[in-house]
Chains A and B, each alone.
Chain A
Amino acid sequence: LAKTTQPISMDSYEGQEVNITCSHNNIATNDYITWYQQFPSQGPRFIIQGYKTKVTNEVASLFIPADRKSSTLSLPRVSLSDTAVYYCLVGAPYSSASKIIFGSGTRLSIRP
């Protein structure tokens, strides 16, 4: 199973850039890296997905080094509304659904 390791929690301030790193040492060749955001009492929300190098969308960037054994989610200029739990997942589109493991995520707290 492609297990991931993330920090349990992180704190930052409004306007700062936040980087959350995820380790996935046994990532498989066909695995993609996906990040989700979850607010209390809501389902997880897809943020970004990538396979290698860098991916950027309107809310975040995802940096993946050449060995793909880790990835970093970058949130530019965070606001209070970015306070949430962030999950890093690895998995391949046609692999077993049960192999996609959310883990406990990173609890990000943004302060004024």
Chain B
Amino acid sequence: DTGVSQDPRHKITKRGQNVTFRCDPISEHNRLYWYRQTLGQGPEFLTYFQNEAQLEKSRLLSDRFSAERPKGSFSTLEIQRTEQGDSAMYLCASSLEARDTDTQYFGPGTRLTVL
């Protein structure tokens, strides 16, 4: 399977703990996105990388959240001091910069439950 992969698929943690998620994009894709999705809502943009550079961050991304994409390949999203409101599905997507389209391909997501 050469699609976007995410690990873990599920994470249950206690409030106050730190968690880290990993995303492996499609290999030739230079753009990588993180989204958060809560029940009944569409994905909400969190942050975006072009190669290793983090170019955009949403206001949703508080200072407890940090994302990295070393070497422009896989990416990690870390949430420090988790809160119950962080419970959501965290989705990663990647795309290949093209002249006239920018179709994003999504991974299966990591479902976070904060107790």
Contact = CB atoms under 8 A, between A and B. Distances in A.
Interface of B: 4, 31, 33, 35, 40-45, 48, 55-56, 58, 89, 91-93, 97-109, 111
Contact of B111 (A41, A91, A102): A41
Contacts of A93: 97-102
Contact of B42 (A49, A97, A102): A102
Contacts of A41: 89, 108-109, 111
Contacts, number: 60
Given A41-B108, A43-B4, A93-B102, 12 more contacts: A32-B100, A41-B111, A42-B108, A43-B91, A45-B106, A87-B42, A93-B97, A93-B100, A97-B45, A98-B45, A102-B43, A104-B40
Interface of A: 32, 34, 36, 41-46, 49, 85, 87, 91, 93-94, 96-98, 100-105
17 contacts: A42-B109, A43-B4, A43-B107, A43-B108, A44-B43, A44-B106, A46-B104, A93-B97, A97-B56, A98-B58, A100-B45, A102-B35, A102-B42, A102-B44, A104-B40, A104-B41, A104-B42
